[in-house]
Chain A
Amino acid sequence: MKYKKNKNFLALVATFLILSCSSQITVLDPNIPKPVIASSNLSAAIKYPDNFEDFSHEEQIIGADKWQIKLGGSNKILFNKLFSSIFNNFIILDKDSALESTTDILIEPEIEAFEFSVPKQSQTNAFAVWIRYRIKIYDNKGKTIANWPISAYGKSETGTFSNNNDLGHAAILAMRDAAALIILQIEKSSILK
């Protein structure tokens, strides 16, 4: 009986230790503001890969905590907001649609890499997030007209008692950075001309 009680206690302590060594952050909506840009009369469609519905990244920091960041559908919200501001006629295609489109251009975004650092690793008081997207743009015949790597960065400082939400905030800042980079890249290209 005594042994059983001890076992339960040990299980409880072990569960507590495991839980206390892992952090989970969820970003539901990055709340990206409407960009201040002139929109184009071109029509555009976007086709999302599967992981844009429920993106999640997990990392075990050596000798420290395990972190999981769930971006869910926030990338989709970001790109919908961004491209619907750039293109007056903007539609979302399902993943099985062909590359030939009825619209002037077709956009295919992808998350190539996701990395982050926490204050314990960087020996600073900041969380940092790097997201590398790849944006492929096709014309209405399916020919590639752009293939851009977009390396976005976000940094969020934290206080004496670090808050897990600061990592989520750094991810949102990285998404905002990606939006800024895509706008600059589109401006530089001949896509809208």
Chain B
Amino acid sequence: MIMKERLKIISILIPNSITVPLLLLILLSACVTARIEDNRLGMTGLNEGEGIVIIAKSYHLGNETENKFISCISKNMRDGASGLRIISNQEFVDSLFPWFEPRTAPANMQSLPLLMNRPGVANIIKNNSIRYIIWVDGNTDSTGGGGNLSCAVGPGGAGCFGFAWWSDDAKYEASVWDLSDFSEDGNVTADYSGTSFLPAVIIPIPFIARTQNRACQGLAEQLKLFIVG
């Protein structure tokens, strides 16, 4: 309905020859394709007071998940009416130092019971009511781009002319570990691709595809559903 209204206003204001390319640009700017899948291995659920920790997989394993992506997922899972108790990543890592450092963090479910047998570890996890650890793997990469845009400044003013575009690909996987029974309950994968455009006729007008942000929102929503249903 809103889109129809917008089209009507635009077609009144601008001649048809300009409307079509302009509309194309507006539509292309929102061009983010998304695919989210989950793979459930066990039953999940969250009792009152139980919390979740979201951590990036170790960079010693070649992972490059951005800190801001972890913060974004944490915020999105914490906020809203169906918000969950998300424990601060840094507080958790500090409270169990040095067992969740990039070098020492458990790489698979088999090493978790060994870690829990270390003095003090199980108590800290129990006292903080930590039920799940979500390990996030993946990152957002620039997959290509092109075009040509140039700007010039002169005594009469400044301006740019040209067209540039670039694509981003956000691929993430979140594995859910249940600390109550040392089991892996499954994983959620998110694959988002987006193309941004920057046309310029005197003034550059950016049409940015917020690929990483959309991947964060999508993954957080799916993880919420995965854990509490």
Q: Measuring CB to CB, which residues of chain A are less than 8 angstroms from any residue of chain B?
A: 32-38, 153, 155, 157, 173, 176-177, 179-181, 183-184
Contacts and interface: CB of A to CB of B under 8 A. Distances in A.
B108 interface: no
10 contacts: A32-B97, A33-B94, A35-B98, A36-B95, A36-B121, A37-B118, A153-B60, A176-B101, A177-B102, A179-B97
Interface in B112-170: 118-121, 124
Contacts of B98: 35-36, 176, 179-180, 183
Contacts of B119: 36-38
Contacts of A180: 98, 101, 103-104
A33 B101 contact: no
Q: Is the interface of A mostly helix, strand, loop or mixed?
A: mixed
Contact of B103 (A35, A36, A38, A177): A177
A151 B121 CA distance: 26
Tier of interface size on chain B: 20 to 34
B82 to A, nearest CB: 31
A134 to B, nearest CB: 18
Contact of B99 (A36, A173, A177): A36
B103 A157 contact: no
Contact of A177 (B101, B118, B121, B124): B101
A170 to B, nearest CB: 11
Nearest 3 A-B pairs (CB), nearest first? A180-B98, A33-B97, A33-B94
B110 interface: no
A155 B97 contact: no
Interface of B: 59-60, 64, 66-67, 94-99, 101-104, 118-121, 124
Contacts of A179: 97-98
A38 B124 CA distance: 14
Given A36-B118, A36-B120, A37-B119, A181 B103 contact: yes
A153 B99 CA distance: 16
A153 B98 CA distance: 14
Contact of A36 (B60, B64, B67, B97): B97
A80 to B, nearest CB: 15
Contacts of A157: 64, 66-67
Contacts of B101: 176-177, 180
Given A155-B59, A157-B66, A36 B124 contact: yes
Contacts of A184: 104
Contacts of B97: 32-36, 176, 179
Specify which of B102, B119, B124 lies most central, judged by the most chain A CB atoms within 10 Å of its CB.
B102
Given A36-B120, A177-B102, A177-B103, 16 more contacts: A32-B97, A33-B95, A34-B97, A36-B95, A36-B97, A36-B98, A36-B119, A36-B124, A37-B119, A38-B119, A155-B59, A157-B67, A173-B102, A176-B97, A179-B97, A180-B101
Contacts of B99: 36
Contacts of B104: 180, 184
A180 B101 CA distance: 8
Nearest to B118: A36
Contacts of B60: 153
A36 B99 CA distance: 8
A36 B103 CA distance: 16
Contacts of A176: 97-98, 101
A34 B59 CA distance: 23
Contacts of A183: 98
Contacts of B124: 36
A157 B121 CA distance: 29
Nearest to B119: A38
Nearest to B66: A157
